[in-house]
Structure 1
Amino acid sequence: MAKIIPFKAVRPTRDKVSLVASRSYQSYTQAEREARLDYNPYSFLHIVNPGYKYDKEISGKERYQLVKNRYQEFKEDGVFVQDKKAAFYIYRIVDRDHQIFNGIVAAASVEDYKNDVIKKHEDTIESREIVFKDYLNTVGFNAEPVLLTYPDNDAISIIISEIQKQRAEFEFTTTYRDTHYLWQIDNENDIKVISDAFAKMKVLYIADGHHRSSSSSLLCEHQKTENPNHSGEETYNYFMSFLIPESELRLHEFYRVVKDLNGLTKEEFLIRLDTMYRIENRGIMPYKPSKPHHFSMYLDGEFYSLYLRKHNYDFKTSLDDLDAQLLYQTVLKPILGINDLRNNTRIDYLSGKKDIVNLKSMVDTGAFKVGFGMIPATIEQMKAIADEGLKMPPKSTYIEPKLRSGVTIYEF
Structure 2
Amino acid sequence: MSAPQSLSARVAAARNPDGRNTGVTIRPPRVLVLNPERAAHLPEPATAGQLPGLVERGVLHRLPEPAVLVYRVTSGAHQQTGVVVEVAVDDYREGRIRRHEATDHGRERQLAELTERSGVEQLPVTLAHQERPVLCELITRVAAGEPHVRVTREHEEHTVWIAHDTDTVRAVYDELAELAVLYIADGHHRLAAAERCAATTCSFTLAVLFPRDQLRILGYPRCVPRPAGTPAPVLLDQLARQPVVARLHELAPSDAIRPDHGSVSMYLEGRWYRLWLHQPHTVVPPPATVHPLSTVDTVLLDEAIIAPVLPEGKGNTPLSGRAGTAAIANWCDEHHAVGFLPSPPRVDQVMAVSDAGHVMPPKSTWFDPKAGHGLFLRQSAGDR
Q: TM (normalized to structure 2)? A: 0.83
* 1:47 counterpart (37, 44, 47): 44
CA distance in 2, matches of 1:262, 1:67: 49
Q: Is the 8 A contact 1:18 1:173 kept in 2?
A: no
3-state SS, counterpart of residue 123 of structure 1? coil
Deviations 1:208-251 (A, max 9, x none): 1011111111111xx34xxxxxxx65xxx111111011111111
Q: CA deviation at 1:72?
A: 6.1
- Cα distance change on mapping 1:263 and 1:217 into 2, 3 Å: farther
Note if 1:307 corresponds to 2:276: yes
Note if 1:275 corresponds to 2:249: no
Note if 1:167 corresponds to 2:146: yes
3-state SS, counterpart of residue 370 of structure 1? strand
CA distance in 1, matches of 2:168, 2:228: 59
Greater alpha carbon shift after TM alignment, 163-172 vs 202-211: 163-172
Deviations 1:165-200 (A, max 9, x none): 3222112333x3433221113233322322222222
CA distance in 2, matches of 1:263, 1:384: 41
Note if 1:404 corresponds to 2:372: yes
Note if 1:117 corresponds to 2:114: no
Q: Is the 8 A contact 2:296 2:349 kept in 1?
A: yes
Q: Is the 8 A contact 2:268 2:338 kept in 1?
A: yes
Could you say which residue in structure 2 is the equivalent of 1:185? Answer: 163
Deviations 1:14-47 (A, max 9, x none): xxx1552xxxxxxxxxxxxxxxxxxxx42x4x42
Runs of 4 or more above 4 Å deviation: 66-73, 283-287
CA distance in 1, matches of 2:372, 2:58: 20
Task: List gaps (5 residues or longer) in structure 1.
Answer: 21-40, 49-65, 225-231, 342-346
Could you say which residue in structure 2 is the equivalent of 1:196? Answer: 174
Where in structure 2 are the equivalents of 1:380-391 lying within 5 Å? 380-391=348-359
Task: List gaps (5 residues or longer) in structure 2.
Answer: 1-22, 281-288
CA distance in 2, matches of 1:202, 1:208: 19
Note if 1:255 corresponds to 2:221: yes
3-state SS, counterpart of residue 404 of structure 1? coil
RMSD, aligned α-carbons = 2.5
CA distance in 2, matches of 1:212, 1:86: 25
Q: Is the 8 A contact 2:48 2:379 kept in 1?
A: no
Note if 1:328 corresponds to 2:292: no
Q: Is the 8 A contact 2:262 2:277 kept in 1?
A: yes
Deviations 1:36-79 (A, max 9, x none): xxxxx42x4x423xxxxxxxxxxxxxxxxx85566565345331
- Number of aligned positions between the proteins: 347
CA distance in 1, matches of 2:31, 2:47: 18
CA distance in 2, matches of 1:348, 1:110: 30
Could you say which residue in structure 2 is the equivalent of 1:344? Answer: none
Deviations 1:100-131 (A, max 9, x none): 21100010111111111111101011111111
Q: TM (normalized to structure 1)? A: 0.77
